[in-house]
Amino acid sequence: MTPPPDPTDAADGTPHSSPSRRVERGRGATFNPANRFRRDTREACDDGWAGDGEDEALPPLATTVTVQPARTIIARNDSPDIPFDRSINPYQGCEHGCVYCYARPSHAYHDLSPGLDFETRLFAKPAAAELLRRELARPGYACAPIALGTNTDPYQPVERDWRITRSVLEVLAECEHPFTIVTKSALVERDLDLIAPMAAKGMARVYLSVTTLDGALARAMEPRAAAPRRRLRTIAALSAAGVPAGVMVAPLIPQLNDRDLEAILEAAAAAGARHAGWVMLRLPREVAPLFRDWLHVHRPLRAAHVMSLVRQVHGGRDYDATFGVRQRGRGEIAQLVARRFAIACRRLRLDGERAALDTSRFRPPRSRGGQLDLF
């Protein structure tokens, strides 16, 4: 049942009294916004039984995973402000439940809500490795680094059982194909036996996304991701194994986690990070009402101020999707964050040139069960 879509005033975004929310333990979204592609809606109604003291507590929302048939696995993009042109997402939806996740609106294409549905009703692609093998074997395939973790986290909790990300890495390692990984999970350490040898050949790089060092804030904002300090230990483990590791401070949210910027960079550098990046908060489509409602529930006294600053960064709107602006914002606040980041990175030596990943060793996968190679 879908509650009213937005508990904020349309004119200025100031939170006011909203319907009572059943805040799910371990979930980021506070409700399921309506699917923007559907014309019909559902509303809660009073059936006369509310408040009689006999209501039983509803069971917690369980995570379900549906197998998603796919014809291809490598997604291409030509966005001018993204430093890669291809990526792989073994899963759609993400159990980490990060309330700010810009990938949430994609769940509407499955006729599901970008809210709680996004983090509880997941789609898995168990054929990913075989599809990748097929695409890498195509005549004329031009090798370039493949990014994992660009839309949803490749190491979210369900990966422990499904192991799809590992199967993808096995193919990439077999073909000596370079890759990058971005994750909020310590589970990436499980695959160091594949990642470290590729890193030794200049073919792998891993970034840990660390948004705050405040455990309470992280638990509310990204409830099923690894704790911040655990992510820093993962950077240390990667570094000790010889894997070039970096930190992504993303997203930066004015007056919520921006105060942690220098502290995160210092902690990551001490753990062995070599590079760093940052992204300003992005609130496309349904993410904006989800984030506003989350603020109203978890940070009510700060909600109006945070949203006011977010709008300043995005030209008076919740979000400006213009290429070159969407990830950094504009105006004095955005410029200040950029200067702080640059100064801290220079001081901590996190601003060095990143060597290009080696693409010269790539060899197409061998045929399985077909005609043997002649030579």
Q: Are strands 179-183 and 146-148 parallel, antiparallel or unpaired?
A: parallel
Q: Domain residues of the chain, as ranges?
A: 65-348
HSE of 235, CA atoms in CB hemisphere, 13 A? 29
Q: How many CB atoms lie within 10 A of CB 47?
A: 6
Name the percent of the chain lying above pLDDT 90: 72
Is residue 114 within 8 A of residue 102, CB to CB? The reply is no
Is residue 34 within 8 A of residue 2, CB to CB? The reply is yes
Angle between helix 164-175 and helix 128-136 axes, rounded to 10 deg: 20
Highest mean pLDDT among 26-35, 111-120, 142-151, 234-243: 234-243
Under the banding of pLDDT at 50, 70 and 90, the label for residue 49 is low
- Rounded to two decimals, the pTM is 0.86
Q: Which of 2-16, 43-57, 77-91, 146-160 has the lowest mean pLDDT?
A: 2-16
What single string gives the DSSP state of each residue in 352-373? Answer: PPPPPPP-TT--PPPPSSSPPP
The pLDDT value given to residue 162 = 97
The two counts, helices (H) then strands (E), for the chain are 11, 10
pLDDT mean over 128-152: 95
* CA–CA dist 356, 203 (Å, integer): 9
Nearest to 151 by CA among 108, 105, 217, 218: 105
Residue-wise pLDDT for 315-372, tens only, equals 999 998 888 888 899 999 999 999 999 999 999 999 988 889 999 999 999 866 555 5
The pLDDT value given to residue 3 = 40
Burial of 56 (0-12, 13-18, 19+ CB in 10 A): exposed
The pLDDT value given to residue 59 = 62
* CA–CA dist 167, 161 (Å, integer): 12
pLDDT mean over 264-280: 97
- Say if residue 124's pLDDT is above 70: yes
- Say if residue 19's pLDDT is above 50: no
255 sits in the region (left: phi over 0; alpha: psi -120 to 50; else beta) called left
Architecture in CATH of 65-348: Alpha-Beta Barrel (3.20)
The pLDDT value given to residue 8 = 42
* CA–CA dist 85, 122 (Å, integer): 25
The pLDDT value given to residue 46 = 61
* CA–CA dist 325, 316 (Å, integer): 13
